[in-house]
Structure formats: structure tokens, C-alpha cells
Amino acid sequence: MLRPLVAAAVVAASFAVPTATAQEQPPPPQPAVTALVRGMSLEHKVAQLFVTHLNGQAADEVHPGNQRDFGVGTPAEVVAKYQPGGVIYFNNSSRDNIDTPRQIAALSNGLQRAGRIPLAVSTDQEMGLVTRIGAPATQFPGNMALGASRRTQDAEQAAAITARELRAMGINQNFAPDADVNSNPANPVIGVRSYSGDPNLAAEMTAAQVRGYQQRFLSPTAVSAAAKHFPGHGDTDEDSHTTLPRVDRTVEQWRELDAPPFRAAIAAGVDSIMTAHIRVPRIDPSGEPATLSKPALDLLRRELGYDGVVITDSLAMAGVRQLHSDAEIPVLALKAGVDQLLMPVDLGLAIDSVVAAVRSGELTEQRIDQSVLRVLRMKFLRGMLTSPYVDEDKVDSSVGAPENVAAAKAITDHTVTAVRNEALPLPTKPTAALVTGWGETSTRALAEALGGTALPTGSTPTEAQIAAAVQGAGSADVVVVLTNGLSAQPAQQTLLTRLLATGKPVIAVAVQNPYDVAHTAAPNWLATYSHGVGSMESVAKVITGEVKPNGKLPVAVPGPTPYPFGHGVSW
């Protein structure tokens, strides 16, 4: 068992590592960590490079998904069998690991007890659109909303609060922030996950969130951050979950448009950088996805001078599986320069393939040691080795604490953008507001905040729903219409046009991508970049004049009625 060796190593190392801020240069790998690697078998070293999914909400829960995927029953047995370096939590129906904060903390502790070396316990808590852990955890708007605020202090505070709550639940690695520059309005997978279409604004916000997540070395309230998706997923019109997108950037264009946020993340001391499953032929003519491309990762290692952990995006995604088998992919990723391998389809096959590649000479054991040292160094510097367990009795008072929720409300109030305005703020609070359009939760949250009536119509309103909304407008003193994907949904445009024709005051609100505002000339257009309850409460405050719309467009909006980057009106 390696637990005693781990304990001795980290105690020795604790005398050698000074407390430092995330911006400071970390110390070189500690001799104790090197000694730890020397005491590991090849199989155990290889396993440390993998981060796997699990099925179930308790460490000892027998789940059929674990039998199917791993040949054992419980999450703890998966960890005991394979000894991976990390695990990742999800909140979907097939791999649902998330229920309550206390449950998550208990799951984390149970998994840590099953590991010989403490685990990196991870999730994707980007905020906004990609949020794995909902309320009572404190909820923030996503990156583009923060970019609209232009307030780096808000971005840093949101990340620090998120880190503190994640760590209380035993999660010590967050796959955030998204450092992509969303330069393509048709991007189906990034969009509002990006701070901006401007590389400099995206860079400032990325650095701020890295500082917030990581705080200082060995902090018990920090998490390891991962800037993603290198070399940049912002100029695609395809989704790497379902295909292998192509990006036609030259190296010079990449340096100007996509590299700045990653440079900023590195300067802020980011622990890891996640690769993208995209092909960039002008960087690597072979057509390999960046995850498997040495020329692409050489830009990161050599040109940007990054020597931290490089982690793949999920190896179960179609974007990385189109050219090679599941056995070949992890070997090729390591040869390209990757360190951590996220979510292989078959964990046992992936580990065996890498071990076999070392035995055959395709990979050297020194190459494996290089990546293991990076991973263990990250674990030590973020306190994963020294403090793997959490206090389950304290988690409920830490997660969603009143001061955190108050901070989130204030931050969200800074994000709303008024793109066009003829009637706001309303002179008096409406007495009969009708809130209709996209999103049942969003329409109901905004209607409650305004004291009005909700009539959700979904993404593709039917003629009957449109007629009902028009009829409801007859008795309303103001109509608020929520949109999401307006240009691709003619029925949403019809709903808005028909409501404008009633002559009632109409306020249109783009609740996700701001590109909606170019497609219908409504007299009052607001953009929230996020459809969470908090964003709906903030937009209600803007409508009634309780707060001013301080946001500015963080992207240029093309279309029939275009708006430039930085546009926004206030009062």
C-alpha cells in the first residue's frame, strides 16, 4: 500500500514549499514527489494519468452501469480495482453522481478511502450553461455574462466562491474556465461559455478566474483550474461531441485571436490546460485532432512555455474517435504531449494499451514518469495529497452560504445589457405583466420577480401557443418575450412579431446567445447571456429601474440589425 509513503512524502515536502499566490512561479518538483513515483509500479503510474467517470451517488452503491463499464458493482470498487489518478462527477441521468452537497462530500470521502494515492476529484462547474451542481450551491451567470460586465473583480470573486464550495464537497479539480474566444456566432458548443469574441477581454477574465479558483498553494478552499479548450474552440460551427470540427486558422491568426487567453492563464499560474478535439490543418496538416497533435501541443509547450498538466477533453467524444481506435488514442495523446487522459471509453483497455506501449518501446517509461510527476506535483501544490478528506458535518453551512448568495446576486446585477431602449425603465412597476417565450423555468422566474403571469411557449411555439400569448397580451400592461436561438427558430420570431403588433409595450430578452438581438427590430432589447433564475431576477430589476443595465456586448453581433462589440445603453 502506498498510503504511508504518500503521508511521509507530503510531510517532508510541506517543509520545502512556501505559501505562494497563484500568480507566483511554483517551486520545482519536490524530491518527496519524485520518491513517490519511484515507489510505484508501471501499471500504477499509468493509472495515475487517467480520470474516469463513475456510476452512482454513494461510494458503496451497487450500480448496473459500473458492472457494464468496469466489471464491478460500486464506485469505490472501480477506484480500488483501477487506482485511477482522478474521477469526474456528472449530473445526468445515466451517470448521475450529484444530489445534495452532503451526499457529494460523502461520495468524495468514500472514493478517497478506496484510493492508494489521493484522487483528483473533478467536475465541470463552469457557471452558467455548464453547471453540474445546482442549488443549494451558489449559482452564477456564465462566462459571457461576466464578460459583459467587464468586471474582473466579479469574475475572480465568483470563481473563489465556487472553489470554496466545491472544496467543501470534496471536489478539488474544476475543469474551468473556458478560455475560448467565441469568434464564430454559429458556434454550437461554446457560445456563452466564452467570455468574449475579443481576445484581450477573454484573456483578462480568464486570468481573473484562474486566480479565483486557485488562490494560493496548499489553500484548503481552492481548487485546481483547467483552462480550455486548447488551441481554441471558438471559431467552429460544429460540435466536437458529435464530429471532428475543422478550424482554418494560420499560426499567425492563432497567435492573435486564440492564444491570448491561454497566455494569460499560464501567467496566472493555471494548473492544467485542456485540449480540444478539433483539427487545425494549417498548424498540423496531418488532420489529427489537437488532442493527438504534437505540432499543436508544441505551440503550448514550446511557444507558450507551458510545463503544467495538459489534460484531454473526454476521450469518449466523437471528435477524437474518428481516426483511431480506443486502444490507440491514449498512446497517441501521450506521444503528442498530454499528461492526464479524461474519460476513456474503456478504462481497462486504455490502461493496458499504454502499459503495452511502454513494454514494446513505443513509449518510454521516462515519458510516463514525466506526466506522473506533473500530475502529482499539481496534486501536492493544491493540497490534494495533504487534505483529501472533507468534514461532512460542515458542508451544508459552507455550500450556498447567505453571504455567497448575496455576492452572486450583486455580480449578476452587473451583467444585463440593454441593446436597444425606448421605454425602460418602466415608470411604475407593472401590475399585469405577461412573460412568455422560451424556457419554462426562466419565464416563471421572471414572472414571479415582476409579479406577473408566465406563459412559456418553448423553443418552437405552436400557432395555438402564439394565439394564447396574443390573447394574454390584451389584458397585460407590459409583455416580456424571452428568446433563445431566434434566428434558427422562425416560430419564435413570429411570436415576437405578433406581440409587437398588439401595440402593447414589448420587451424582448435574449436569454442565451446575444445574437438574437439582430433579428427582430423590437424597440426594447435586453441580453442576459444566461437563463438562470438569478439572471431573471436581475433583468426584472433592470425593467423596473431598481438597477441600471451596466453590461456591454462582449461580442460583435452580425445580422440584419448589427451591433458592434462594446455596444450597450444605460440610463
Known catalytic residues are 241, 313
Cα separation, 52 vs 95, in Å, equals 11
| Beta-carbon count within 10 A of 502 CB | 16
Question: In this structure, are strands 50-53 and 433-437 parallel, antiparallel, or unpaired?
Answer: unpaired
Dihedrals phi, psi of 99, to nearest 5 degrees: -135, -75
* Residues 6+ positions from 524 with CB-CB distance below 8 Å: 418, 420, 421, 422, 423, 424, 505, 506, 507, 508
Question: In this structure, are strands 125-127 and 130-131 parallel, antiparallel, or unpaired?
Answer: antiparallel
User: Residue 26: is the preceding peptide bond cis (ω within 30°)?
Assistant: no
What is the SS3 assignment for 508?
strand
Question: In this structure, are strands 417-420 and 525-527 parallel, antiparallel, or unpaired?
Answer: antiparallel
Q: Are 136 and 119 in contact (CB under 8 A)?
A: no
Q: Are 330 and 291 in contact (CB under 8 A)?
A: no
* Residues 6+ positions from 40 with CB-CB distance below 8 Å: 2, 48, 372
Helices (H) and strands (E) in the chain, counts: 22, 16
Separation in Å, CA 494 to CA 525, 556, 562 = 16, 25, 20
Separation in Å, CA 460 to CA 159, 456, 533 = 35, 11, 22
379, β-bridge pairs: none
Cα separation, 234 vs 188, in Å, equals 10
Cα separation, 552 vs 37, in Å, equals 50
- Burial (CB < 10 A; 0-12, 13-18, 19+), residue 169, is buried
What is the SS3 assignment for 443?
helix
- Burial (CB < 10 A; 0-12, 13-18, 19+), residue 393, is exposed
Cα separation, 357 vs 344, in Å, equals 16
Instruction: Name the grid cell of 233.
Output: 474552440
* Residues 6+ positions from 569 with CB-CB distance below 8 Å: 418, 419, 420, 421, 549
Dihedrals phi, psi of 455, to nearest 5 degrees: -140, 75
* Residues 6+ positions from 284 with CB-CB distance below 8 Å: 290, 293, 294, 295, 296
3-state DSSP helix/strand/coil % of the chain, to nearest 5 = 40, 10, 45
Q: Kind and range of the H or E element at 227? A: strand 224-230
